[in-house]
Amino acid sequence: MNESYKIISSSMLYWFSQKKWFVFSVLLAIFLLNLSTPIGLSVPGYHSLIILLMVFTLVTFEPIPFPAIALLTLVLQVLLGVAPPDVVAASFMNDAVLFVMGSLMFAIAIVHQGLDIRLAKVIIRLFGKSKRLFLAGLMTISAILSSFLGEHTIIAIMLPIGLSVVKNIDTKQTDGKNAVLLTLFSVAYGTIIGSIGTPSGGARNVIMINYLQEFSSIHIDYWEWMKHAYPILIMQLVVAYFVLQFAFPTTLKNIQIQGYKKKVAKSNTKNNINHLFSFVIILFIVISWFLFNEQFGLGIIALCGALIFMICGMVSWEVINKNTNWGVILLFAATISLGFQINETGASSWMVEKFNAMLALMPESDLNLSWPFMAILTGLTANFFTSSATISLLGPMAIELQPTDISFALSAAIASGFSFLTVISSPTAMILYSTGLVSTKTFFKVGLLMFTSSIVILYLMSKFYWVTL
C-alpha cells in the first residue's frame, strides 16, 4: 500500500479520534437546523437552544480549546440570526465577566505572596491542640477564606499545608491512606463549601446576581446574599466533618502536626512586609465588596485588587499573564452572552413552559416539585459541566421559573456550587485529583453522601429559614 496514503489516513484517523465530539456536535446541529421550529418557539430562540446544546457537548468533552468554543458561540449567534453583531458584542462584556477576569488575576496575585506559612501559624495557634481539631480548623479556615476570595485562591494556599502534614505517610496501609484522604478532603470540602457563602466566593454567584438584575430587576447585595447562604455553609461544614470521619476512619497517628509545627515555627515570616501589605489589600477589597458593590460592581472591585498588587510591584504582569486562564474568561463571556440571548429570544420562557407542562403530568402533591427538580438539575449539571458555565446557561431558566421569588435563583446558584461528585466539577476537585492521591471513585462515593445532604440542607433552609428573612 502507498506509504503516503497510509500516513495521511492515519493522521486523519487520529484527528477524527480526537475531534469526534466536535464532528458529532456539528452534525447534530445541522440535523436540528433542518427540523421545523417547535411550536411556540421563535426561530432565533430555537437556534439559540441549538447553540446551547453544541456548547454543552463541546465543553463537556473538550474536543477543541475553550477559546475556540467561545469564538464559535459568538460567531454562530450572528450567523444563525440569534442576534445582530452589535447586540452580541454588547452582551459579551459585563460586570460578571469583569469579575471572572478580576478574581482570577487577584487570586494569582494573592497566591504569589506565599501566605500559606503565615496561615499555617494561625491555624496551629488556634487549632493545634489536637489532630482532629487541627483538621476541623483547616476545613473551617478554608471555608471562611474561600467564601470571600474564591475556591481557586484558597485551595492553592491551603493544599501545601495539608500535604505538608501528610508527607511521608505510608498510604499502603488503610489507616495511613485514610489519614491522607481525611486531610486532603478536609481542605477540599472546606473550600468547595465556602464558595457558596458570598457573591465573591464564585463567579456563578456574580453571574446569577447579574441575571437577576437584568431579567427580573431584583437586586441582591453582598450582605443579603450572605444572610441567605452563610447559614447553609455552616450547616454543611458540620455535616462534612462527620461525613469525612465516617468515610475515612483513622487513628491519625501518622499525621505529623508536631513536626510541621516545628518547621512552621522555624520559618521567619515576621519581617515579610509583603504579607502585611497583602493582608491590607485583601481586607480593603473585601470591605469594598461589602460597602461599594452596588456603586462599582463586584467585577471592578476585583480588578482593583489585582491592579493594586501590580502597582505596588508585588506581582508582575508576566506572572499574571502566564497563570491567568484567558480561555476560561473568554468562554464565560461567550456563555453569558448566549444566556442573555436565550432569555431575549424567549427560549428560556419556552423551556420553562415545557418544564411546567412536564411537572403537571406528575401525580398531584402538596410539595412544589419545580424547586427540587431545578436544584437537583443545576447541581448535577454543574458536576459535569462546571458551576459557572451551568449558571450562565441555565440561570435565565431558573429565574423564569419564579421571576418574583429570589429563592429559586439563589437555590440554583447555590446548588451549582455542590461540586462533590466529579473531579471535573471545580478547580478544587481537579486540583485534589491532580495530586494523584485521590481517585475519581473515592471522590464520587464520598461526594454522593455530601451532595445529597447538601441538597436536603438547601431545601430545609429555603423552606424554613429564607421565608423569615
Binder of other proteins out of 295, 436, 441, 468 (CB under 8 A): 436
Rounded Cα–Cα distance for residues 172 and 280 (Å):
44
Rounded to 5°, the CA angle 378-432-180 comes to: 125
Rounded Cα–Cα distance for residues 22 and 111 (Å):
36
Residue with smaller CB distance to other proteins, 40 or 65: 65
Site string for other proteins, 17-56 (x = CB under 8 A): xx--------------------------------------
Q: Does 113 bind other proteins (CB under 8 A)?
A: no
Q: Report the nearest approach of other proteins to the CB of residue 112 (Å).
A: 9
Site string for other proteins, 56-95 (x = CB under 8 A): ------x--xx-----------------------------
Taken in order 459, 460, 461, 467, the sign of the CA dihedral is positive
Kindly tell me the burial class for residue 312, based on how many C-beta atoms sit within 10 Å of its own C-beta (0-12, 13-18, 19 or more): middle
Q: Indicate the helix (H) or strand (E) that contains 103.
A: helix 95-111
DSSP 295-329: HH-HHHHHHHHHHHHHHTTSS-HHHHHHHS-HHHH
Binder of other proteins out of 434, 445, 448, 460 (CB under 8 A): 434
Q: Does 174 bind other proteins (CB under 8 A)?
A: no
Residue with smaller CB distance to other proteins, 61 or 296: 61
The window from 46-54, 252-260, 320-328, 354-362 that contacts other proteins (CB under 8 A) reads 320-328
Q: Report the nearest approach of other proteins to the CB of residue 100 (Å).
A: 12
- Half-sphere exposure at residue 317, Cβ-oriented, CA atoms within 13 angstroms: 2
Site string for other proteins, 127-166 (x = CB under 8 A): -------------------------x--xxx-xx--xx--
DSSP code for 437: S
Q: Does 14 bind other proteins (CB under 8 A)?
A: yes
Give the closest residue to 309 by CA, choosing from 328, 293, 285, 292: 285
Site string for other proteins, 331-370 (x = CB under 8 A): ----------------------------------------
Helix (H, G, I), strand (E, B), or coil: what is residue 170? coil
Cell of 269: 515570616
Q: Report the nearest approach of other proteins to the CB of residue 389 (Å).
A: 8
Give, in order, the Cα–Cα distances in Å from 193 to each of 92, 130, 183.
29, 23, 16
What is the contact surface with other proteins in residues (CB under 8 A)? 1, 6, 9-10, 13-14, 17-18, 62, 65-66, 104, 108, 111, 114, 116, 152, 155-157, 159-160, 163-164, 167, 323-325, 327-328, 386, 389, 424, 426-427, 430-431, 433-436
